[in-house]
Chains A and B, each alone.
Chain A
Amino acid sequence: MSVLKKTLTLLVGNTDDLSYLRLPKGKIDTKKMSERQLIQRESEIGRQLFGPVPKGHQREFFCLDESTCIWYESYKDKDGKQVSSTTRYEIQGDKVLKAQDGPRYSYLEGAELDNLLQAVRLYYERVMRNVYGKEPKTIHQSQV
């Protein structure tokens, strides 16, 4: 019997079921992961923020750096041709620049801006909890 188990037996009496000591499902040890691997984990969460990914589509959504988010979508069209698009959202001061293949540039506004901001908030909350095991900070409007 290990020292840990003996100690637990003294403290809680029953050590038959120690499952509560395990990390919750979905959380993994990220301490030895590279930036690429961490971003992949984040993107697993990010891609779900905009509803179900259609069958045959590949979607990625992640925060690349301190001011950039990336949306990547890939799928085959009706002719079987592979179609992919990458959209970069870049925060510039109090605006968000949307840069797409082409290149096409525009500043987000209206519902599109609102939706992106809401998505990033959700991304932050879920990534902090499920990738990094941290409680997200609550940010209120009045703190601005």
Chain B
Amino acid sequence: MSEQPVQSNQPHPAEGTRFDNDNVIDFRMARDGLASQSLIEAQRQVERSYGLHSTEKYAEVESEVVQVHRLLIEINRIRQERMAG
């Protein structure tokens, strides 16, 4: 990789993944080893391993709100289609 890994242990609230590049690799390995579990569960496990307990609930809520927002967008799209005939 040409880019230098970002060296920061601080969680970044604006990003979905709060790991530096090295940790992202560890995260993916953990995720692959946890195929039967959800991505969120895998993320939790990695967060625990890095002592990021404080962000655990935040990450879950963030993703669920975004999911639900997509559902509302979908309903509105279908509604607009029906109104247009």
Instruction: List residues of A whose CB falls within 8 A of some B CB.
Output: 30-35, 38-39, 42, 63, 65-69, 91, 93-96, 109, 113, 117, 120-121, 123-124, 127-128, 132, 134, 137, 139-144
Contact = CB atoms under 8 A, between A and B. Distances in A.
- The contact size tier of chain B is 20 to 34
Contacts of B64: 117
What is the predominant secondary structure among interface residues of chain B facing chain A? Answer: helix
B82 A33 contact: yes
Interface of B: 16, 38-40, 61-76, 78-79, 82-83, 85
Given A66-B73, A113-B65, A124-B75, 16 more contacts: A31-B82, A31-B85, A38-B82, A39-B79, A42-B79, A69-B72, A93-B65, A94-B61, A117-B67, A121-B68, A121-B71, A128-B74, A137-B74, A139-B70, A142-B40, A143-B67
Given A141-B39, A144-B16, A144-B39, A91 B85 contact: no
B76 A144 contact: no
Contact of B72 (A39, A63, A142): A63
Contacts of A31: 82, 85
B61 A113 contact: yes
A63 B64 CA distance: 17
6 contacts: A93-B65, A94-B65, A117-B64, A140-B38, A143-B67, A144-B40
A63 B75 contact: yes
